Chain A
């Protein structure tokens, strides 16, 4: 009885699905961001599971780069949120309709 890569991939798919549901359901932009982080981490888990399947470390390097890009994205995204909050005093995605035609 051992844990194969399939178990990790299924778990990764499940976490990704929960993240997708969160993005679709939640209205608070900060929580939507957290759900995006959850999705990125779910994909990282499958990268690392595949790295083990292939017996090479490239998957781990890729997961590292995903983390770097996620960090940059969070910094800019939260900066935008703070700027929006100053103008509209709300972080709900429903209130951000400046571009609505």
Chain B
């Protein structure tokens, strides 16, 4: 009985967290797209990333949630803000259309995409019953993800390392001032 009560309490907590975070993440994403100031866009995107980290925690992905905050909200968005400041935020984005009919076309295409994805979801996986990650996460999510990374995905892991080095060297070369 206590076990049943505990699960419902956990489910209620998940529901409340989801209901709080989901509108916040959508509003932050919309604000990012619609905000005239690029710095506001970047900060709203950080808010969105924090919401996503919350969802990852709800979905038992603690490692990815922490990486999301450290790498995305911490490193990548700081890089964005750094470049924004470097290039000057004075030259603000013109929100007028330069291609005629672009905005309505964008709206129609986005709605079409959403309709297609929504139809696919409603047709198939919407009521899929989630399995539990309890077995996979038995001795900790970080340990389990690390074990997968260094066994089944070790080749991809090493390739990712090479990719990061190449990207760093590429950025260095791109950023160098040529005489």
Contact = CB atoms under 8 A, between A and B. Distances in A.
Are A and B interaction partners? yes
Interface of A: 1-11, 13-22, 24-28, 30-31, 33-35, 37-38, 41, 44-45, 48-49, 51-58, 60-61, 63-65, 67-76, 78-83, 85-86, 89-92, 94
Given A22-B33, A54-B131, A41 B59 contact: no
A54 B135 CA distance: 12
A65 B110 contact: no
B174 A67 contact: no
B33 to A, nearest CB: 4
Say whether chain A's binding surface is mostly helix, strand, loop, or mixed. Answer: helix
Interface of B: 11-12, 14-15, 18, 22, 25-26, 29-30, 32-33, 38, 41-42, 45, 48-49, 52, 55-56, 58-61, 63-64, 67-68, 71-72, 75-76, 79-80, 83-84, 86-87, 91, 93-95, 98, 102-103, 105-107, 109-111, 113-114, 117-118, 121, 125-133, 135-137, 141, 144-145, 148-149, 152-153, 156, 160, 163-164, 166-168, 170-171, 174-175, 177
Given A53-B128, A69-B163, A31 B93 contact: yes
B149 A61 contact: yes
Contacts of A33: 80
B25 A15 contact: yes
A20 B115 CA distance: 14
B149 A10 contact: no
Given A58-B148, A79-B170, A45 B76 contact: no
Nearest to A81: B83
A6 to B, nearest CB: 4
